[in-house]
């Protein structure tokens, strides 16, 4: 078998999972040259929540972060996560915006774009895949993993065939909740290898406690790449530890051949940074807990804590177990959507409403109604007809690709933001997050000292 390859997640999903995506660019840049020499297959540095967090919380330009990382990483591929037609935002965008965003991501330094759709409706990722190939990037298409009566190994093998037909460069099994069992993974990867030569990457989270066992069976089955995080940003709701796999498989036929001395230096660099976030309360100890119930309820770790927070805010923390039991019922009613952004939040909220009101679907969020109307794409299974009628009455769901209803919008967005945008990257920032991007662009370029002086004046007054 070929040497195992490793994608390092600390600069994106590792710190997104543990410290709410709060790593600053100034904390990332000093260690990059060493990370570039380790022998990683790729570094995940962008996408997911990093774009939003940069402008919402860190007062940083995410495009500038990417360019600065690219300057320092010359030997290792840079990777990002993209939500298909949603890009990094929370709605479907016009095809012209999707293509432009992919183009600019690659121009600014991204090599591999991992693309997924929450429903595994590949109509919603076709534009992003085509654009990635057009502009010279590698298109990695995801299978969002979940379990249900329709989500069998046979189902996933059919998805592999769809991915292959799309012209993808590789496949990622995206186990966002940490629920893929080792023996199932062994069967799935073995059968995938029988129908495709595309490299297969496996992504998971340690939430349920089975991630290392999962990876070992996947490696045995011939998985090509696994996602791990350097020790300070591993475990809990993040990925398994990079150093462990580099050490355990040293001298093995699948040895990933990473530089163990450099890994130790990188871990030492990040340890005090992690401790700083722990002291500030940004690293919530709960994210490090193992929660085996994840396997039963199919709920990602971050969703569990969000549900508890919602219920505590309503003075209904005692309803937590009841809500967890409601989630599988809502999933079944809605055609078994995988619990990944944004569907995890939507299903969780509907479950809370069902329990707190004491009457199922008496209160329905707009997002759930839009989902039932087909605005997010095609559900994996047929929806319960009675529930569907309760939610949308006599309205007719669409059956075509949702983005077919969106006119080209880049030029319109460019006019809306006007002179505040100094580049197409600024326009795209506005497209994704209009309100916070406008505020960010208004402040961009102003001297920091002036902002401090104004703040001091306000305090004095």
Structure-token pair, residue 156: 């996933």
Asked if 266 contacts 35 with a C-beta cutoff of 8 angstroms, the reply is: yes
What local confidence, expressed as pLDDT, does residue 184 receive?
98
Q: What element of type H or E holds 139?
A: strand 138-144
1 C-beta neighbours (distance < 10 Å), count: 12
Q: Quick check: helix, strand or coil at residue 206?
A: coil
Contact 131, 98 (CB under 8 A): yes
Q: Tell me the C-alpha distance between 228 and 27, whole Å.
A: 20
Here the tokens at position 440 are 């960010």
pLDDT score recorded for residue 457:
35
Cis omega (within 30 of 0) for bond into 202: no
State the Cα–Cα distance between residues 263 and 247, nearest whole angstrom: 10
CA distance 284 to 332: 32
pLDDT of residue 138: 98
Nearest by Cα to 377 from 150, 85, 82: 85
Q: What is the DSSP letter of 363?
A: S
> What pTM did the predictor assign?
0.93
**Model pLDDT, residue 301:** 65
DSSP string, 96-128: HHHHHHHHHHHHTT--EEEE--TT--GGGTHHH
Distance separating alpha carbons of residues 219 and 141, to the nearest angstrom: 20
Helix, coil or strand: residue 321: helix
Instruction: Identify the pLDDT of residue 291.
Output: 86
SS3 173: strand
The neighbouring-strand residues paired with 42 are 7, 77
Whole-number pLDDT of residue 445:
63
CA dist list (Å): 80 to 34, 132, 178, 248: 20, 12, 20, 27
* pLDDT given for residue 146 in this prediction: 94
Q: Which residue has the tokens 């591993």?
A: 234
Q: What's the pLDDT score for residue 293?
A: 83
Distance, CA of 150 to CA of 291 (rounded, Å): 25
Between CA 340 and CA 85 the distance in angstroms is 15
Per-residue pLDDT of the chain (461 residues; tens, 9 = 90+): 899 999 999 999 999 999 999 999 999 999 999 999 999 999 999 999 999 999 999 999 999 999 999 999 999 999 999 999 999 998 999 999 999 999 999 999 999 999 999 999 999 999 999 999 999 999 999 999 999 999 999 999 999 999 999 999 999 999 999 999 999 999 999 999 999 999 999 999 999 999 999 999 999 999 999 999 999 999 999 999 999 999 999 999 999 999 999 999 999 999 999 999 999 999 988 889 898 888 887 777 667 767 777 788 889 989 988 998 999 999 999 999 998 878 888 999 999 999 999 999 999 999 999 999 999 999 999 999 999 999 999 999 999 999 999 999 999 999 999 999 999 999 999 999 999 999 999 998 666 544 444 433 333 32
* Angstrom distances, CA of residue 245 to CA of 173, 235, 252: 19, 13, 11
pLDDT of residue 298: 77
Write the DSSP string, 209-256: S-HHHHHHHHHHHT-SEEEEB-GGG-STTSPPBHHHHHHHTTTSTT--
Contact criterion met (CB below 8 Å) for 40 and 8? yes
Neighbours of 332 (CB within 10 A): 15
Q: Among 237, 233, 255, 236, which residue's Cα sits nearest to residue 246?
A: 255
CA nearest neighbour of 307 among 343, 351, 341: 351
> How many Cα atoms within 13 Å fall on the side-chain side of residue 163?
30
> Which residue in this structure is represented by tokens 């007719």?
396
**pLDDT at site 460:** 34
């Amino acid at each position: 078998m070929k040497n195992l390859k490793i994608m390092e997640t600390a600069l994106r999903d590792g710190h997104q999972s543990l410290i709410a995506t709060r790593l600053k660019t100034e904390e990332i840049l000093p260690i990059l040259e060493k990370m570039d020499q380790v022998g990683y297959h790729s570094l995940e540095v962008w996408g997911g929540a990093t774009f939003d967090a940069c402008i919402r919380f860190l007062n940083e330009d995410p495009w500038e972060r990417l360019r600065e990382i690219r300057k320092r990483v010359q030997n290792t591929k840079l990777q990002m996560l993209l939500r298909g037609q949603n890009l990094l935002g929370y709605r479907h965008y016009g095809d012209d915006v999707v293509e432009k965003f992919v183009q600019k991501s690659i121009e600014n330094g991204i090599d591999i774009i991992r693309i997924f759709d929450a429903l595994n409706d590949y109509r919603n990722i076709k534009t992003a895949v085509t654009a990635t190939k057009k502009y010279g990037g590698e298109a990695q298409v995801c299978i969002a993993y979940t379990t249900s009566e329709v989500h069998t190994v046979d189902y996933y093998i059919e998805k592999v065939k769809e991915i292959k037909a799309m012209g993808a460069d590789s496949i990622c099994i995206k186990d966002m909740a940490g629920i893929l069992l080792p023996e199932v993974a062994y069967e799935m990867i073995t059968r995938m290898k029988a129908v495709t030569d595309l490299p297969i990457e496996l992504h998971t989270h340690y939430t349920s406690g089975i991630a290392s066992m999962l990876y070992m069976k996947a490696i045995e089955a011939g998985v090509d790449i696994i996602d791990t995080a350097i020790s300070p940003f591993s475990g809990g709701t993040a990925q398994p530890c990079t150093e462990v796999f580099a050490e355990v498989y040293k001298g093995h036929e699948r040895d990933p051949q990473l530089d163990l001395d450099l890994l130790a230096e990188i871990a030492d660099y990040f340890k005090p940074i992690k401790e700083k976030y722990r002291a500030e309360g940004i690293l919530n100890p709960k994210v490090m807990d193992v929660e085996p119930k994840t396997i039963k309820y199919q709920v990602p770790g971050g969703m569990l804590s969000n549900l508890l927070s919602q219920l505590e805010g309503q003075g209904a923390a005692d309803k937590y177990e009841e809500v967890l039991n409601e989630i599988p019922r809502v999933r079944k009613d809605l055609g078994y959507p995988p619990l990944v952004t944004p569907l995890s939040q939507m299903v969780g909220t509907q479950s809370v409403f069902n329990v707190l009101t004491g009457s199922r679907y008496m209160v329905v969020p707009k997002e759930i109604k839009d989902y039932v109307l087909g605005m997010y794409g095609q559900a994996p299974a047929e929806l319960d007809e009675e529930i569907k009628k309760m939610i949308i009455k006599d309205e007719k769901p669409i059956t075509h690709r949702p983005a077919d209803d969106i006119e080209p919008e880049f030029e319109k967005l460019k006019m809306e933001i006007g002179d505040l945008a100094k580049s197409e990257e600024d326009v795209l920032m506005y497209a994704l997050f209009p309100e916070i991007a406008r505020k960010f662009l208004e402040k961009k370029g102003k001297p920091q000292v002036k902002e401090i002086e104004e703040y001091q004046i306000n305090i004095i007054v």
